[in-house]
Amino acid sequence: MKRRMNYLISLVIAVITVSSCGWQGIESVRMPGGAGRGDGAFSVVIEMPDATTISVNSPVLVNDIEVGRITAISLQDWHARVRISLDGDVDLPKNATATIGQTSLLGSQHISLSPPDKAADTGRLADGDVIPLERASEYPTTEQTLSALSLIVNGGGLAQVGDIVHGANDILGGRTDKLRTLLKQLTSLTATIDRRRTAITTALSGLDRIAGTMAAENQTLDTAINRITPAVKELSERRGTLDDALTALDEFGTAANNLITRSADDLEANVASLHPTLKALADTGKSLTNSLDFMFTLPFPISRLDRVVRGDFANLYALLDFSVPRVRSDLLRGTPLGRTMAGPTGALGRNAGTAADRSDPRTRPIQSTKKARGGR
């Protein structure tokens, strides 16, 4: 009874242990003894491009001698990460290579470790080392061998499949980062399209409505195309004339540019010469515009013409100043005659009423009652 109880307790403990650790098949159970299990054993990680043909507890060989076992297989960054356990007396360089091979034609798969073929040995492979992807590969599989044999024997297509697979491996080999980036971009594109699905649907609906409208206006479009065809034909026939016109216009532009370039200095000088004239015209202020009020109705201003003539009589008030200084300064300024009239008589003084007198007759005081004449 006591022995049965011990068996029951042992069975319960075994079940609890297995259920807590996870069951991944019989190949995941660590068997006692064997290669890679003794004292001094160390662990190495191999990054394999493909590990579908191997499993946990598959053997590890060096020169066809079993020296270890696969202890774990995981996925990291789109490649397999294989952890192996090796005997402590395994002596391999740190830059060793790893290859997946086949024990026999129909046998199991294993991992074969070997020194590098074309590189010098560096150090010694130790616990925790990693054999990277560039030093990991696989031997030809049975399928590839049969494909080659089929091609030789009867020209079968299995070899082409192998070539396709090898070509895909060659394309992807060493470009995993670019492929990973491409997949991320495709994922982002897909997510963006999914987010904008409503907008895309709306756009497609709009295109469908446009297509429907164009289909409804098919006759109108056909008429427009038929009418524009003669115009296009005419333009095509006159293409030479249009080319000549454009060429002539280009030559005219070149000539005009040269002319403007050569006459730029003269044009600038002419504009500079006009500056005094324009300045004098501007200095006249309102005098020039006010004088236009008398241009056609002299001596009456046009703005007061309706008040001058009333029925059969006209109102006129005139102040005529014909003194020599006034005539010379207003009518003869800048002429030789103006300088003549301002000759010797100007030296007699302003009180004599000579050419030197520049006083305004409207404001000048009366000198003598005998000289004052007036009337209406």
First to last CA, the chain: 167
Query: Which region among 51-55, 127-131, 334-338 has the lowest average model confidence (pLDDT)?
Result: 334-338
pTM: 0.35
- Residues whose CB is less than 8 angstroms from the CB of residue 302 and which lie 6 or more positions away in sequence, other chains included: 293, 294, 295, 296
Work out the mean pLDDT of the chain and round it to a whole number: 77
In the predicted structure, residue 282 carries a pLDDT above the cut 90:
no
Between 34 and 222, the higher pLDDT residue: 222
In the predicted structure, residue 312 carries a pLDDT above the cut 90:
no
Beta pairing, strands 42-48 & 136-138? unpaired
Q: What is the percent of the chain with per-residue pLDDT over 70, rounded to a whole number?
A: 69
* 166 Rama sector, left if φ>0, alpha if ψ -120 to 50, beta otherwise: alpha
Helix runs in 138-175, H state only = 142-154, 158-172
The domains of the chain are located at 28-139, 141-195, 294-352
Highest mean pLDDT (candidates 39-43, 247-251, 350-354, 371-375): 247-251
pLDDT, residue 335, reads 65
Q: How confident is the model at residue 127 (pLDDT cuts 50, 70, 90)?
A: very high
pLDDT, residue 61, reads 92
Q: What is the DSSP string of 199-228?
A: HHHHHHHHHHHHHHHHHHTHHHHHHHHHHH
Q: With 0-12 CB in 10 A as exposed, 13-18 as middle and 19+ as buried, what is 58?
A: buried
Between 149 and 334, the higher pLDDT residue: 149
Q: In the predicted model, what is the mean pLDDT of residues 265-281?
A: 88
Q: How confident is the model at residue 101 (pLDDT cuts 50, 70, 90)?
A: confident
In the predicted structure, residue 305 carries a pLDDT above the cut 80:
no
User: For the segment 28-87, what is each residue's pLDDT rounded down to a tens digit?
Assistant: 555 555 677 878 899 999 998 887 778 888 899 998 899 999 999 998 888 889 999 999
- Spatial separation of the C-alpha atoms in residues 201 and 5, rounded to whole Å: 71
Nearest to 35, CA basis, from 54, 60, 53, 63: 60
Q: In the predicted model, what is the mean pLDDT of residues 216-231?
A: 89
